[in-house]
């Protein structure tokens, strides 16, 4: 279990206050507040439908908030225009559950796509990119343990390997914040551990802030500096992992009735 983060800075890089989000009549987020400091690894833990992914997408403006305020790296996300949001998204990397790689392209080309935001014109094919960018892309593939797969088509890799390529692509943006939405949901336990360990190493060694959504309790306890529990769109827990037991974390899954001793049916029990 991780100890309190020894490298977290005093810089507040994410500040969300009273964030609510509605999709029509459905209240997906109910006045959620969260502050995250530089180099923290924060896990948003909860069932599917608890609001984790919605909140993550609100942080970089993919979903506009219904009410509340969000500031990320000094940008007021809830008031930002399209140009400000484009700039912010270059600073905030996003790792998706489904990898979102271009299967017919090589791993190297997929990683290079992460650097397109720094170019003024599109590039097609690895050789069209500047030499320094090709070198950086290869270095990031080496960072995720896939240097020997640089020329392989992305769709020939396993799910765990594809997710590591997706992480390398995100690092190619040179972000200061990394948002990961259920990055291991479709992976077997061994590959899930590899990906989580990689994200944790990046947080500590590169001093990146990582906010990751999960529904598996044991993975959250194993890698997060801090766990924030969401249930029914509301924040129900926010605590350093070093001060939590598995039983504490399972409280996130307890039925809304505080007197209930039953847990909501969830894969968390076997995670």
The predicted-structure confidence for 93-118, as pLDDT tens digits, reads as follows: 999 988 899 999 999 999 999 888 76
Q: Which residues pair with 226 in a beta bridge?
A: 42, 240
**What pLDDT is stored for residue 269 in this prediction?**
39
Asked if residue 124 has pLDDT above 80, the reply is no
Instruction: Show the 3-state SS of 13-42.
Output: EEEEEEEEEEECCEEEEEEEEEEEECCCEE
**What pLDDT is stored for residue 127 in this prediction?**
61
**What pLDDT is stored for residue 37 in this prediction?**
97
CB distance 180 to 166 below 8 Å? no
- φ and ψ of 93, to 5 deg: -80, 155
**What pLDDT is stored for residue 234 in this prediction?**
97
Asked if residue 245 has pLDDT above 50, the reply is yes
**Per-residue pLDDT averaged across 16-26, rounded?**
97
* 3-state helix, strand and coil shares in percent for the chain, rounded to the nearest 5: 40, 25, 35
Count of positions (residues) in the chain: 271
Tell me which residue of 78, 74, 77, 141 sits closest to 107, measured CA to CA. 141
**What pLDDT is stored for residue 136 in this prediction?**
95
Across 63-101, b (16+ Cβ under 10 Å) vs e yields bebeebebbbbebebbebeeeeeeebbebbbbbbbebeb
Q: Where are the beta strands (DSSP E) in the chain?
A: 12-23, 26-37, 41-45, 67-72, 75-76, 92-95, 177-181, 209-214, 226-231, 234-240
**Per-residue pLDDT averaged across 77-95, rounded?**
92
| 8 confidence band (pLDDT: 50, 70, 90) | low
Asked if residue 138 has pLDDT above 60, the reply is yes
The predicted-structure confidence for 156-175, as pLDDT tens digits, reads as follows: 999 999 999 999 999 999 99
Strands 92-95 and 41-45, by their bridges, are: unpaired
Q: How many CB atoms lie within 10 A of CB 238?
A: 13
**What pLDDT is stored for residue 130 in this prediction?**
81
| 271 confidence band (pLDDT: 50, 70, 90) | very low
Q: Quote the tokens at residue 3.
A: 């100890």
**Per-residue pLDDT averaged across 137-155, rounded?**
96
Asked if residue 267 has pLDDT above 70, the reply is no
Domains for the chain: give ranges and CATH numbers.
12-97+177-270 (3.40.50.300)
**Per-residue pLDDT averaged across 58-73, rounded?**
96
Degrees to nearest 5, angle at CA 133 with 102 and 138: 65
Share of the chain above pLDDT 70, in %: 86
Mean pLDDT of the chain: 89
Q: How many CB atoms lie within 10 A of CB 218?
A: 17
């Amino acid at each position: 279990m991780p100890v309190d983060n020894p490298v977290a800075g005093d810089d507040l890089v994410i500040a969300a206050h009273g964030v609510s989000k509605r999709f029509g009549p459905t209240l997906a987020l109910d006045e959620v507040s969260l502050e995250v400091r530089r180099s923290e690894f924060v896990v948003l833990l909860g069932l599917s439908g608890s609001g984790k992914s919605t909140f993550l997408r609100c942080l970089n403006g993919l979903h506009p908030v219904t009410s509340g305020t969000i500031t990320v790296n000094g940008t007021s996300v809830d008031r930002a225009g399209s140009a400000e949001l484009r700039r912010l998204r270059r600073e905030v990397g996003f790792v998706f559950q489904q990898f979102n790689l271009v299967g017919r392209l090589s791993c190297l080309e997929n990683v290079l796509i992460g650097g397109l935001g720094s170019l003024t014109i599109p590039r097609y094919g690895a050789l069209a990119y500047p030499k320094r960018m090709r070198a950086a892309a290869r270095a990031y593939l080496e960072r995720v343990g896939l240097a020997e797969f640089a020329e392989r088509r992305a769709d020939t890799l396993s799910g765990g390997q594809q997710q590591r390529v997706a992480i390398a692509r995100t690092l190619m943006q040179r972000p200061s914040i990394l948002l990961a939405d259920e990055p291991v949901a479709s992976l077997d336990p061994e590959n899930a551990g590899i990906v989580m360990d990689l994200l944790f190493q990046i947080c500590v060694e590169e001093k990146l802030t990582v906010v990751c959504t999960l529904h598996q309790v044991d993975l959250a306890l194993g890698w997060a500096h801090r766990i924030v529990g969401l249930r029914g769109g509301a924040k129900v827990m926010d605590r350093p992992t070093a001060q939590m037991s598995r039983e504490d974390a399972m409280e996130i899954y307890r039925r809304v009735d505080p007197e209930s001793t039953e847990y909501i049916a969830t894969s968390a029990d076997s995670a």
